[in-house]
Chain A
Amino acid sequence: MVVRVQEEDFDIGTELSSLTTGKHGIGGVCLFVGLVREMAGDETISSMTLEHYPGMTEKELIRIEDEARSRWNLEETLIIHRCGKLAPGDQIVMVAACSAHRGNAFEAARFLMDFLKTKAPFWKLEDTGKGSQWVDARDSDDTAAARWEKG
């Protein structure tokens, strides 16, 4: 299990190989990478600053990984989330789920992202050059996470 919150960029290939090296039970890896999008509604952003709650953010990410591992048979999981000031096109988040077969990996990776977006204490501040604005939480993210609620 890997959970990291960091200002530095990450290299997808390096992360992937360190996650899977020597673990020959893994048959499939599903990997998601989020990038900073340049458009915020009709405005073009010049930068985005990610604030987080040191301590709780890591704990919450570990909880989310634990929850994924309790739901699916996973060989490895990874969440790396960046904080601080980022520019359009920058990598912001990487999630990976590794399992013996692809089905678990696909589902768990999506679950990790959906839960991360609604539970992990991060806040985005977008700067458009004319001023900065905190991003509002989206109902569609709550809907995506609610899909996974156990009925």
Chain B
Amino acid sequence: MKVLYFSWLREKVGTAEEDLSPPEDVGTAGQLIAWLRTRGDNYADALADMATVRIAVNQEYVQLDHPVKAGDEVALFPPVTGG
């Protein structure tokens, strides 16, 4: 699974992109985020407040209950500020 981070989430986590193999019991975006938080203080800090985190799976916005699986591209980023 490829996980991408953007904007200040990228800065806080410390990487733009990583290939991860989460445990088998990680089946949703919410479970993935809960697992990521256990990987270090940088993740726990970046993902502390879900009100400031948006999730996309395979380049489409999803909610926390959306399934994730091996091979997916999951992106985590703050609310967007273009225009």
Q: Chain A interface (Cβ within 8 Å of chain B)? A: 34, 50-53, 55-56, 59, 81, 92-93, 113, 116-125, 134-138, 141
Chain A residues positioned under 8 Å from B80 (CB to CB):
117-123, 137
Q: B23: shortest Cβ distance to chain A, in Å?
A: 26
Closest residue of B by beta carbon distance from A126: B81
- Using A53-B75, A53-B77, A55-B59 as known contacts, say yes or no to A134 and B82 having CB atoms under 8 A apart: no
- CA of A51 to CA of B61, assembled, Å: 18
Tally the A-B contacts, defined by beta carbons under 8 Å: 70
- Using A51-B7, A123-B6, A123-B7 as known contacts, say yes or no to A81 and B78 having CB atoms under 8 A apart: no
Question: In this assembly, does B83 line the interface, its C-beta being within 8 Å of a C-beta of chain A?
Answer: yes
Question: In this assembly, does B32 line the interface, its C-beta being within 8 Å of a C-beta of chain A?
Answer: no
Whether B82 pairs with A52 at a CB distance below 8 angstroms is yes
The 7 A-B residue pairs with the shortest CB-CB distance, nearest first, are A122-B82, A137-B79, A123-B7, A56-B59, A117-B83, A135-B81, A124-B81
- CA of A116 to CA of B81, assembled, Å: 9
Whether A56 pairs with B56 at a CB distance below 8 angstroms is yes
Chain A residues positioned under 8 Å from B82 (CB to CB):
50, 52, 81, 93, 116-117, 120-124
- CA of A119 to CA of B77, assembled, Å: 12
Whether B81 pairs with A34 at a CB distance below 8 angstroms is no
Whether B59 pairs with A123 at a CB distance below 8 angstroms is no
Chain B residues positioned under 8 Å from A138 (CB to CB):
81
Chain A residues positioned under 8 Å from B77 (CB to CB):
53, 121, 123
